[in-house]
Structure 1
Amino acid sequence: MITLFDSFLIRAALAGTGVAIAAAPLGCFVIWRRMAYFGDATAHASILGVALALGFQVPIFAGVLIIALLMATAVSSLSGRGFAMDTLLGVLAHSSLAFGLVAVSFLQGIRIDLMAYLFGDILAVSRIDLAVIWGGATLVLLLLWARWSALLTATLSPDLAYAAGINPKREQLVLTVALALVVAVAIKVVGVLLISALLLIPAAAARPFAATPERMAAIAASIGALAALVGLQASFVLDTPTGPTIVCAAAVFFALTNLGSAIWKNRLPAVSNDR
């Protein structure tokens, strides 16, 4: 019996949408906290998780999640201990990616499509992959919903958070777990090298039109989902790599929203003068 999920394009569209609506709101916190390199380091470390998962014959999702959590925890614990944050993140991001690529080369008797893990292979998403992606996305959204107020307070002012009885370090751990989950579910869609782009670009595109944090998160999720669908369609029509095409679509939306915002701001004084 043929069902809707037997179409690889439908599965790809659902996978891209699931990753986008989880990554974009989380990307808002990444932008507000100026953690762009943090997301990059966690994503790059995930290729080491792929290698270890294949070597020990455990699910890829589990290996990537464990390594992403370890990387995010290591960065959080090492920050403020004599290293500049951008230097620390640069060292950890590139070294973990290099160790992962070297580890993959030692795998014997295992065929691995490295390009699929680096740039994603959304068209090969299976029903099981789809369940993992939406399960992880749901967990991330529930985590953000449950901790939204505390996360926002800790992001705006750690001192205010302490005064309100909120532990900023605990909220940082919540973001760490959410980021690791997004990286683990997104690797199949856009790959290691493009995960941070899916985190940052939709959130940055939503910023000019967001009067409140909640609105920014909602607009970012909408832009991310639309970029996934438009990128998938463009990839199918133009015969281009799907993961990079999705990121290109998000980049186009970023350019359009910022251009539209600039035009609107320039138009406002003229309208005021006419009155």
Structure 2
Amino acid sequence: MAFLDSFLIRAALGGVGVAVAAGPLGCFVVWRRMAYFGDATAHAAILGVALALALEAPIFGGVLVVALGMAATIATLAGRGAATDTLLGVMAHSGLATGLVAVSFLPNVRIDLMGFLLGDILAVTQTDLLLIWGGAAAVLGVLAWRWRALLTATLGADLAHAAGIDPDRERMVLMLCLALVVAVAIKVVGVLLIGALLLIPAATARRFARTPEAMAAGAIALGMVAALAGVWLSFRFDTPTGPSIVCVAAGLFAVASLPGIPVPSRS
């Protein structure tokens, strides 16, 4: 497809695809205070890269398997009463360190670690776009299907039980979606910055939204603006693309937080 021959077009579409998936999911990350969970899952993705290279399997598959395993492990340990913040810190740093060490043991394999750590969106291929947009569609489909149940479980476990909803199941649904976003976003912003792309647009949209649905739509829009502007700035000034995207998102958050910026009433 000639339209996709330009690496800038592919980069822009990749960034927008990740923003579409990360926006509404990031809202639940904000509401549930799960920011560290996103970091832990993303950091473990490097181990998935090493696993995929060792088995000569697709990178996406290795990252997804490890991210899902990390999500299930954290959910299981947290359910047994472990201190969540401590657990996430241990898992995040352990996963990243183990992955980096594992990569160093791979014989005759040369990889761009900076590309995996900070993203390499300008190298996104048409196959990568299929994975990114397919993952985004799957995440949006699951969130649309479970939206009311997820919102109810987010408000409180007691309310969820009263409504006949299993809050543990809904938490697992969120974790699985988060693992999928990590897998599709690794090439766009890298494992060190995926958490930022989940958190910052949602936190910015929260200031202006009256309803959960408006916040999710706002997070998508802000994420798309950050992705497109970040790609352009990276190309214009020869800066790392993943960090450029996050810097734009952070700038939008800073502007939205300025005193005097009008916000809607939530009465």
Question: Which residue matches 1:14?
Answer: 13
Higher Cα Rg, which structure = 1
Any runs of at least 4 consecutive aligned residues in structure 1 with deviations exceeding 3 A, and if so which? none
1:80 offset after TM fit, Å? 4.6
* Amino acid in structure 2 at the alignment position of 1:232: V
**TM-score using structure 2 length:** 0.97
1:81 offset after TM fit, Å? 3.1
Structure 1 regions of 5+ residues with no counterpart? 269-275
Question: Which residue matches 1:188?
Answer: 187
Structure 2 distance, partners of 1:34, 1:125, is 31
3-state secondary structure, aligned to 2:60: helix
Q: 1:263 aligns with which of 244, 260, 263?
A: 260
Q: How does 1:205-220 map to 2 (within 5 A)?
A: 205-220=204-219
3-state secondary structure, aligned to 2:76: helix
Q: How does 1:93-104 map to 2 (within 5 A)?
A: 93-104=92-103
Question: Which residue matches 2:72?
Answer: 73
Deviations 1:83-131 (A, max 9, x none): 3211111001001100000000001111111110000000000000010
Structure 2 distance, partners of 1:217, 1:31, is 11
* Amino acid in structure 1 at the alignment position of 2:178: L
Identity fraction in percent: 67
* Amino acid in structure 2 at the alignment position of 1:241: P
3-state secondary structure, aligned to 2:192: helix
| Residues 264, 128 of structure 1: alpha-carbon distance in 2 compared, 3 angstrom cutoff | closer
Q: How does 1:140-151 map to 2 (within 5 A)?
A: 140-151=139-150
**TM-score using structure 1 length:** 0.94
Q: CA RMSD in A?
A: 1.3
Structure 2 regions of 5+ residues with no counterpart? none
Question: Which residue matches 1:42?
Answer: 41
Question: Which residue matches 1:113?
Answer: 112
Question: Which residue matches 1:233?
Answer: 232
1:264 offset after TM fit, Å? 3.8
Deviations 1:122-164 (A, max 9, x none): 0000000010000001100111011000000000011111111
Structure 1 distance, partners of 2:240, 2:125, is 18
3-state secondary structure, aligned to 1:192: coil
Structure 1 distance, partners of 2:132, 2:100, is 24
Kindly indicate which of the two structures has a greater share of residues assigned to helix. 1
Structure 2 distance, partners of 1:225, 1:159, is 36
Structure 2 distance, partners of 1:58, 1:20, is 26
Structure 2 distance, partners of 1:166, 1:81, is 20
2:75 aligned with 1:64:
no
Deviations 1:230-262 (A, max 9, x none): 011111111100000000000001111121xx3
Q: How does 1:132-211 map to 2 (within 5 A)?
A: 132-211=131-210
